[in-house]
Amino acid sequence: MPNVSYEQVCSGKTGHAEAVRVVFDPQVVAYETLLQIFWDNHDPTQTNGQGPNLGSQYRSAIFFYNEAQQLAALASKDALAASGKVRAPITTQILPAAAFVRAEEYHQQYYEKQGVVLRGN
């Protein structure tokens, strides 16, 4: 479904997840650093949601592009689970990346457009 709309994704029937595609230069920032930022900035124990956003489209997931990324993501998940920092099972999925569909323009920078200030901003 290459041209899925936000409304279709919100129906929970497409299997899509809202995600941020991060393009990075590994010479500038390590993948492991990005993983740490990911774990530090959301609740990896909340199933099918983040905060008040509920539904399978809001599930916690890491999408990898190669085996090295997959192994690093799995290792970082295991390290977090062993650290004692989380008190419930980690439900974050680690899945192969599929086609990325850019959200409609009205949904880009959504919080900023709504005047919501996020922590760290």
Q: What are the domain boundaries of the chain?
A: 6-110
For 53, the enclosing helix (H) or strand (E) is: strand 53-54
Asked if CATH classification 3.90.1150.220 holds for the domain at 6-110, the reply, yes or no, is no
Structure tokens belonging to residue 28: 């500038």
* Strands 49-50 and 53-54, bridge-based pairing: antiparallel
pLDDT in tens, 87-114: 899 989 999 998 877 766 666 666 677 6
What's the half-sphere exposure (Cβ side, CA atoms, 13 Å) at 75? 9
d(CA 87, CA 112): 31
**pTM (2 d.p.):** 0.77
What pLDDT digit, counting tens, does each position of 14-63 carry? 667 777 788 889 999 999 999 999 999 888 988 876 777 776 677 889 99
